[in-house]
Amino acid sequence: MKLPSIKAIKAIIYLVLAATLISNLAIAQGSSSTGSSSTLQSAVQARLCGIISFVQAVVGTLAVVLFILGGVLYAVGHFLPATGNVRASMQGWAMGMLMAAIIALILFIIANPIVTMIAGFGSAAGGGSVSVNCSSSGSSASTTT
């Protein structure tokens, strides 16, 4: 059985993220035209906080796993003889994993500001402003219409 390519997996991930963000923005735009805008905005805020916590959980776990695997591969690569291509390729894989872990850690740190910025695009288009502030004890957010 042939596994899907990395490009196909990336495309699927991008499509899922885009669909999620578009659906959230559509809910936010629809909330400004209805009478119960605060209820819909609180639903959008809850969904945005859910997206942030999901992204941080997945990316944080991925960063830790990549750091551990990259460190182990790099250490094992030093014990191999220098004559083969295996040592060089193993150290290359390890450096790639460590760089991916650093990128995942950066995404973990900036997940909340990115989602807050995307939520702010609705206010620029004439919709209600959604300010997302997700804390570890719960979700709190402020809205203005």
The verdict on residue 77 lying in a domain is: yes
Q: Give me the number of domains the chain comprises.
A: 1
- pLDDT surpasses 70 at 27: no
The verdict on residue 40 lying in a domain is: no
Name the residue range of residue 86's domain: 60-118
3 vs 47, higher pLDDT: 47
- pLDDT surpasses 90 at 102: yes
| Whole-number Å distance between alpha carbons of 107 and 56 | 8
The verdict on residue 2 lying in a domain is: no
The pLDDT tens digits for 58-69 are: 888 989 999 999
pTM: 0.58
- Per-residue pLDDT, averaged over 89-109, amounts to 90
Q: List 141's β-bridge partners, or say none.
A: 132
The verdict on residue 103 lying in a domain is: yes
- Per-residue pLDDT, averaged over 105-130, amounts to 73
Burial status of residue 48 (CB atoms within 10 A of its CB: 0-12, 13-18, 19 or more): buried
DSSP per residue, 46-76: HHHHHHHHHHHHHHHHHHHHHHHHHHHHHHH
Q: List 142's β-bridge partners, or say none.
A: 131
- pLDDT surpasses 90 at 83: no
The verdict on residue 11 lying in a domain is: no
| Whole-number Å distance between alpha carbons of 105 and 25 | 26
Q: Are 43 and 95 in contact (CB under 8 A)?
A: no
The verdict on residue 3 lying in a domain is: no
The verdict on residue 125 lying in a domain is: no
- DSSP H or E run through 26: helix 6-31
The CA-based diameter of the chain, rounded to the nearest angstrom, is: 73
The verdict on residue 81 lying in a domain is: yes
Helix pair 85-124, 6-31: axis angle to 10 deg: 20
- pLDDT surpasses 50 at 142: no
Residue 69: its pLDDT value, please? 93
pLDDT-wise least confident of 30-34, 54-58, 132-136, 137-141: 137-141
